[in-house]
């Protein structure tokens, strides 16, 4: 008697990536080369924007990585979208590159940043179509945290944030029993150390970085809307508290171990502050429902 094979037929898995023709890959390669050539001066400037002295966009270097993680998180759904490129978008790309040529004759980095995002969006439209552009609009927009779109906020709110950070750090030093004396709005005197809360220590750099981190968690955690609001609402208070603790710690280190130790701690404490904010936001997001 013949045995019957009752096993189920193998289920075909969805491809890890949408299938593209060799011609499409060639077009993508040419487009990437053209993008690099068109924005070469801008790309050469980006390291200055991210790693320059007293930059407010030191977090910018990890923003493209975060955008990639957002895409990776959504990839199971993204790969199901059919690739239906809009050939007419090449006209849009050429037009944007023409405008870019004029923009590079100036130092209007914000305009160049906008043009880069628009060209990337037009490229997605050309290769993948409207549905791909819609699906990638959020990670594409997230790249904006890496570019100088927040200069007006920096100019308008740095000094108020600087004063608030000074006031709160003064209070912390007073509670710690160090008997601080406030010489002016941003200068605190201790027995053996002068704490000058300058513009770089205002907390604005930390605020922009924490804002980018909070939006990243919102996009990948998929918590309820009220949780997203609470996460956003926590950005300014968290930044103020952590920055004030950092300033107070600089004062304590300088007052305890001398001026040199205080300045050395100042140079590295910014990274510790950012790590602390990241951990606090991650824990808070989990409390709000991230699994």
**In the chain, where the domains are located:** 22-149, 152-287
Share of the chain above pLDDT 90, in %: 74
Greater pLDDT, 265 or 6: 265
Give pLDDT, residue 63. Answer: 97
Give pLDDT, residue 13. Answer: 52
**pLDDT bucket at 247, cuts 50 / 70 / 90:** very high
Give pLDDT, residue 4. Answer: 45
Find tokens 């205002």 and name the residue.
Answer: 202
What tokens does 99 get?
A: 């405008």
- Measure the CA angle with vertex 254, ends 252 and 255; round to 5°: 65
DSSP secondary structure code for residue 145 in this structure: G
Reported as a single tens digit per residue, the pLDDT across 3-54 is 444 455 454 554 555 666 676 677 778 778 878 888 999 999 999 999 988 8
3-state secondary structure of 11: coil
Give pLDDT, residue 138. Answer: 97
pLDDT (average), residues 77-82:
92
Give pLDDT, residue 131. Answer: 96
Please answer whether residues 62 and 70 qualify as being in contact, where contact means their C-beta atoms are separated by less than 8 angstroms.
no
Give pLDDT, residue 98. Answer: 86
pLDDT (average), residues 256-277:
92
Find tokens 């609470």 and name the residue.
Answer: 230
Give pLDDT, residue 30. Answer: 78
Give pLDDT, residue 1. Answer: 44
Q: Is the pLDDT of residue 67 over 70?
A: yes
Reported as a single tens digit per residue, the pLDDT across 121-151 is 999 999 899 999 999 999 999 999 999 999 9
Contacts of residue 187, Cβ cutoff 8 Å, sequence gap at least 6: 166, 194, 195, 196, 197
Give pLDDT, residue 36. Answer: 85
Give pLDDT, residue 2. Answer: 46
Please answer whether residues 87 and 126 qualify as being in contact, where contact means their C-beta atoms are separated by less than 8 angstroms.
yes
Nearest alpha carbon to residue 282 among 216, 226, 208 = 216
**Alpha-carbon span 48 to 176, nearest angstrom:** 39
| Mean pLDDT, all residues of the chain | 90
Greater pLDDT, 101 or 132: 132
Taking CB atoms within 8 Å and a gap of at least 24, the contacts of 208-211 are: 208/56, 208/57, 208/59, 208/145, 208/150, 208/154, 209/58, 209/59, 209/274, 209/277, 210/235, 210/238, 210/239, 210/274, 210/277, 210/281, 211/145, 211/235
């Amino acid at each position: 008697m013949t045995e019957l094979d009752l096993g189920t037929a193998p289920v075909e898995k969805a491809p890890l990536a949408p299938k593209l023709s060799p011609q499409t890959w060639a077009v993508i390669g040419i487009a990437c080369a053209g993008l690099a050539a068109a924005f070469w001066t801008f790309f050469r400037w980006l390291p200055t924007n991210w790693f320059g002295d007293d930059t407010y966009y030191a977090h910018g270097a990890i923003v493209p990585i975060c955008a990639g993680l957002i895409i990776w998180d959504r990839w199971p759904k993204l790969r199901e979208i059919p690739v239906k490129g809009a050939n007419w978008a090449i006209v849009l790309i050429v037009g944007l590159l023409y405008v870019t040529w004029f923009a590079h004759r100036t130092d209007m980095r914000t305009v160049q940043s906008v043009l880069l995002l628009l060209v990337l969006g037009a490229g997605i439209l050309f290769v993948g179509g409207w549905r791909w552009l819609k699906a990638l609009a959020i990670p594409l927009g997230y790249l904006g945290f890496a570019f100088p779109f927040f200069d007006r906020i920096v100019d308008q709110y740095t000094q108020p944030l600087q004063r608030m950070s000074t006031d709160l750090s003064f209070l912390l030093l007073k509670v710690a029993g160090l008997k601080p004396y406030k010489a002016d709005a941003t200068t605190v005197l201790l027995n053996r150390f002068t704490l000058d809360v300058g513009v770089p220590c205002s907390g604005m750099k930390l605020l922009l970085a924490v804002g980018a981190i909070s939006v990243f968690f919102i996009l990948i955690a998929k918590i309820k809307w009220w949780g997203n609001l609470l996460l956003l609402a926590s950005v300014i208070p968290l930044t103020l508290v952590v920055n004030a603790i950092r300033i107070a710690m600089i004062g304590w280190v300088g007052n305890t171990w001398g001026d040199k130790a205080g300045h050395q701690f100042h140079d590295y404490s910014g990274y510790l502050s950012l790590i602390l904010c990241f951990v606090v936001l991650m824990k808070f997001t989990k409390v709000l429902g991230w699994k």
